Amino acid sequence: MNWFLFFWVVLKSVLFSTGGFGPLPSLHADFIAHGWASEKQFTEALAIGQITPGPNGLWVASLCYLVAGVPGAVLSCVALLLPPLSILIVQLVYARIADRAATQGALDGVVLVIVGFNVIVVARLFFGNGADLRLVAIAVLSAALAISRRVPSIVILAAAALVGLLFG
Amino acid sequence: MTDQEAFSVRRLFFVWAKIGFTSFGGGAVSQYLIQESFIYKRKWLGAEEYANIIAMSQIAPGINLIANAILIGKRLAGWLGILVSLVGFVLPSAAITVGISAIYAKFSSLPRVQSALATAFAAIFGISLATNWRNAGPIFASNRKRGPAALAFALAIMIGSALVYAAFSPTVLVLYLVGGLCGAFAYRHNAGKKRKD
């Protein structure tokens, strides 16, 4: 494995994209072309990234582990951590224009867009995997419990997984 | 003192580490726990301030939650806060992700494991709905105070961008740009009107 090339391929995919799934197209093209990963490893890594703690974007670390072991995982984490640091530059610009009404409007507008498209993305994954009445009931119940703040999220998730395991 | 814990860098590290270890369910649950830990349980951040952090985090390349952790760390404890937040949040979650990758690859074909995956994802979907609801909440509340037109416009941005995304799947950055411009225009227009009144 050429580690410089490996690191650059991962860094490039993160640097020129945004969000957890953003690096997918670029990584997919490069990893398949170099013969580093199979299609199956991509779907496995994506699923693991959604279940395990932390950002979904850590699916990249999962993939890099599957194809290149622990050194691959460590390099991918460095590649994941560097690009978001540029947020500090964004914040510097924001500090200068923070007191204008339009600035607050722009930020609120972006949040509203995020909420709208987030719900679509997750709903598509949910219904795309064949959601039946039982799964919808679990989703509604989980949302209600999360809003009520009475049950820790890890308990909600564990209970749901247990139901699937027992009645699967 | 669980309700209004006083802030310290050490506590900051442990709060992030707890999120890093326990946010099973990925980004949706991480976001939910970040809200819980920093806004609702400890009140180290305000809900509106946090909404600004979320919006800014979308502009940086890479994983938004990492940018989010950088901004929260900086806001609470400067450069040390950034370091503490990144190490506390990313190290445990990356380690667990890699560990589970090794285990999961061996059992992924079992039907019961597939079924557990489906029900767990249903819960993740539900928790993510709750998280998005809480992100949008303060914005709708402040726009309701500005009047029905402002509230309707905010709703239109959210629903409109969801519809456009569902129908045409454009690059998300374009949606951010259009949504941001709409919001900027609306708030400026509103502020101008207030000055005239």
Residues of A in Cβ contact (< 8 Å) with B58: 18-19, 110, 114
Cα–Cα distance for residue pair B37/B33, rounded to 1 Å: 6
Q: Select from A84, A41, A82 the least CA-distant residue to A59.
A: A41
- Of A20 and A69, the one with more pLDDT: A69
Say if the Cβ atoms of B97 and A53 lie within 8 Å: yes
Cα–Cα distance for residue pair A113/B177, rounded to 1 Å: 9
Residues of A in Cβ contact (< 8 Å) with B20: 53-54
pTM over 0.80: no
Which pLDDT value is given to residue B11? 95
Of B27, B94, B130, the CB nearest to A147: B130
How close is the nearest chain B Cα to the Cα of A29, in Å?
Answer: 18
Q: Which of B35, B53, B83, B101 to mutate to test the interface with A (most CBs of A within 10 A)?
A: B101
First to last CA, chain B: 47
How close is the nearest chain A Cα to the Cα of B36, in Å?
Answer: 9
How close is the nearest chain A Cα to the Cα of B94, in Å?
Answer: 7
pLDDT at B29 over 80: yes
Which pLDDT value is given to residue B4? 64
- How much of chain B, in percent, has pLDDT values that exceed 70? 96
Cβ contacts below 8 Å, chain A against chain B, sum to: 379
H helix or E strand, kind and range, residue A146:
helix A133-148
Taking only the tens place, the pLDDT of each residue in B59-78 is 788 899 999 999 999 999 99
Say if the Cβ atoms of B116 and A142 lie within 8 Å: no
How close is the nearest chain B Cα to the Cα of A159, in Å?
Answer: 8
Taking only the tens place, the pLDDT of each residue in B82-92 is 999 999 999 99
Say if the Cβ atoms of A111 and B154 lie within 8 Å: no
Which pLDDT value is given to residue B181? 94
Q: Which of B125, B140, B144, B159 to mutate to test the interface with A (most CBs of A within 10 A)?
A: B125
Say if the Cβ atoms of A114 and B54 lie within 8 Å: yes
Q: Residues for chain B: how many in total?
A: 197
Which pLDDT value is given to residue A93? 87
Which pLDDT value is given to residue B1? 44
The total of other beta-carbon atoms located within 10 Å of residue B197's CB is 4
Count CA within 13 A, CB hemisphere, residue B2.
Answer: 1
Point out which residues pair with A18 in neighbouring strands: B62
pLDDT at B2 over 60: no
Residue B62, phi then psi, degrees to nearest 5: 90, -165
How close is the nearest chain B Cα to the Cα of A22, in Å?
Answer: 8
Check if the interface score ipTM surpasses 0.90. no
